[in-house]
Amino acid sequence: MTEDITFPVIVKRGDLYAAPYGMEITALIRTARRMFQMPPRKANSLTTASDLADHSVRTGRYVWLLVKALSARQMGELHVAPAVLVAGAALHDIGKLSIPREILAKPAMLTKDEFAIVMRHPSAGYRIATATLMQRGGTSEFLTCVAEVALFHHERWDGAGYPNQVASKNIPLTARVLSVADVYDALTSARAYKTRMPHREVVEVIRDGRGSKFDPDLVDAFLSVESDFESANNESVGTE
Ligand SMILES: [Fe+2]
């Protein structure tokens, strides 16, 4: 089954509006703009602000590598088409459109109060995606997937995550896959307030999170393809 997975057009750099889900993504951005009363330029920032857009695109690429590495048993648990998850994963942080830019772009560690605001983005993303889904008749597999990964991607296997402290297999597999990809990209990327962590160290962080932060099976899947992550990471550094 995994041999059939091809890398979707949507996760190429700068192509978030591209087929096959361009209309749904445009509708998501419109909903976010309306819901959070944002001016058009800010709503477009998901695709133009380099940090968020590049993070989304790279995370989609890492999700693709993980999906290919899932065991047959895990693939049975995956209730969406792999290409839908890869595309939906790129939108997992859409709730960040609700967060003031000065917090998202702050060139220093966040205060406790600022971080509390950032922690609202999974619920905000879920609201944006479900409202868009309802507007479009409630039948889009892609929008359903975006709602799911948005809501659950900061939950932890041990139940110590946010926003709802959901644990283990109560976290959908889509979001468990995404959380490994998301952390890999966050740690291997430079931010205004931190430098990039080398691939080797990130592998150890993810290995240490086996059974606490991450699904143990997903960490095993990651370790089986970590050299592919390193290659993809080197490629993305080269294009930054
Ligand atoms: Fe997030």
| CA 134 / ligand 1 centre spacing (Å) | 23
Full residue range of the structural domain in which residue 37 is found: 2-239
* Residue range 205-212: mean pLDDT, rounded: 98
| Residue 170 reports pLDDT greater than 50 | yes
Mean pLDDT check: name the lowest of 5-9, 32-36, 86-90.
5-9
Tokens coding 201: 């160290």
| CA 56 / ligand 1 centre spacing (Å) | 10
**Number of domains into which the chain is organized:** 1
Find the CATH number of the domain harbouring 206. Answer: 1.10.3210.10
pLDDT band at 49 (very low <50, low <70, confident <90, very high): very low
| Residue 183 reports pLDDT greater than 50 | yes
Using CB atoms within 10 A of its CB, is residue 83 exposed (0-12), middle (13-18) or buried (19+)?
Answer: buried
Q: pTM score, two decimals?
A: 0.85
189: closest CA among 57, 70, 87?
57
pLDDT band at 169 (very low <50, low <70, confident <90, very high): very high
| CA 120 / ligand 1 centre spacing (Å) | 9
Bond from prior residue into 39 cis (ω within 30 degrees of 0):
no
Using CB atoms within 10 A of its CB, is residue 195 exposed (0-12), middle (13-18) or buried (19+)?
Answer: exposed
Note residues around ion ligand 1 (Cβ under 5 angstroms). 93
| CA 135 / ligand 1 centre spacing (Å) | 24
Cα–Cα distance for residue pair 147/145, rounded to 1 Å:
5
pLDDT band at 4 (very low <50, low <70, confident <90, very high): very low
